[in-house]
Amino acid sequence: MAPDLAASYARCRELHRRHGRTYYLATRLLPAWKRPHVHALYGFTRYADEIVDRTDGVPPAERARQLADWSQRFLAGLDGAAVDDPLLPAVLHTIDAFDLDRTDFATFLTSMAMDLEVADYPDYPALLSYMEGSAAVIGTMMLPILDPTDPAEAREPARQLGFAFQLTNFVRDVAEDLDRDRVYLPLADLARFGVSVADLREAARRGSTGPAIRELIAFEVDRARAHYAAAAPGVPMLAPSSQGCIRAAYHLYAGILDEVERAGFDVFARRAVVPRARRMAVAARCLLTAPGTPVAPPRQRVSREA
């Protein structure tokens, strides 16, 4: 591997290690030759996200310009142009090595640009449309690396897992997103439980919440768990060497929702984190699970339509 390419993969790995602890741990269960490619995809999505989410005083118009510039360099690289960027060579190499669908990357970048223009979503279909680009396509990007026996059949579970992971993040990070003037919980859901955006801001200010917001969060937890249930059949479809990684990521991210529930659905008191000892135990258990073993979907707290 050329020195510049090796350095690019190393940069992606460091981004993954520093910012994606849960997913990084799961990636350690992959064969060594697959890991750099997963790091590259994480690095791509993380770097775009960092441009969009900068909170150091850079105005939205400047962030939009930076994202557009970086996106154009990436798209030019896809067409064979030389790229002067420390991260993109690994991404482009991974896309070429696995013949990844280029439209997934363009769709992702479109969703990232939406974050600079859209502050909230009226209902869940509108949020799903955003998550199609921000989350579902990441599941389909990963599929060729994970090598399913039937890629067409595995595609929908992969999309559902992307939705599940993204919605888990939205539930956990309500306060952080408010700091960025964004609300990813659908406004129709807030209205259903008698909650306003001002109520969320007040709960964030106090560091605790009342019954109405707790019921709202419980509803979103149930909705996320429904996506996990829809994703579960996809894990045994993957290559045996890939199943441990995705099985671990599945249970570790779903475990964040368990932590939210243990906290009484108060996402403002503290950030929900799966304890390190439990993360290690889950990873070890998934490593030892026989390939092809069905994945038990998360327990639904209640039966309600999401």
How confident is the model over 58-89, as pLDDT tens digits? 888 999 999 999 999 999 999 999 888 999 99
Question: What pLDDT score was predicted for residue 178?
Answer: 96
Question: What pLDDT score was predicted for residue 126?
Answer: 97
Residues 6+ apart with CB under 8 A from 251: 282, 286
- pLDDT band for position 164 (50/70/90)? very high
CA proximity to 32, closest of 216, 304, 299, 245: 245
Question: What pLDDT score was predicted for residue 306?
Answer: 41
Question: What pLDDT score was predicted for residue 160?
Answer: 98
Give tens-digit pLDDT for 258-302. Answer: 999 999 999 999 999 999 999 999 999 999 999 999 999 987 765
Residues 6+ apart with CB under 8 A from 44: 12, 74, 87, 88, 91, 105
Give tens-digit pLDDT for 194-203. Answer: 999 999 999 9
56 has pLDDT over 90 = no
Whether the CB-CB separation of 283 and 248 falls below 8 Å is answered with yes
Whether the CB-CB separation of 212 and 198 falls below 8 Å is answered with no
Dump the DSSP string for 262-279. Answer: HTTT-TTTS-----HHHH
Question: What pLDDT score was predicted for residue 305?
Answer: 43
Question: What pLDDT score was predicted for residue 58?
Answer: 84
pLDDT > 70: what percent of the chain?
Answer: 96
Give me the chain's average pLDDT, please: 94
C-alpha distances in Å from residue 265, one per residue of 162, 182, 184:
22, 20, 16
Question: What pLDDT score was predicted for residue 301?
Answer: 66
Rounded CA separation 57/75 (Å): 28
- pLDDT band for position 303 (50/70/90)? very low
Rounded CA separation 59/66 (Å): 11
Positive/negative CA dihedral, 249, 247, 110, 127: negative
pLDDT > 90: what percent of the chain?
Answer: 89
Question: What pLDDT score was predicted for residue 60?
Answer: 87
- pLDDT band for position 2 (50/70/90)? low
Task: Give me the half-sphere count of Cα atoms (radius 13 Å) on the Cβ side of residue 204.
Answer: 17
Question: What pLDDT score was predicted for residue 299?
Answer: 78
Give tens-digit pLDDT for 9-41. Answer: 999 999 999 998 899 999 999 999 999 999 999
Give tens-digit pLDDT for 210-235. Answer: 999 999 999 999 999 999 999 999 99
Q: What is the pTM of this model?
A: 0.94
Rounded CA separation 215/49 (Å): 29
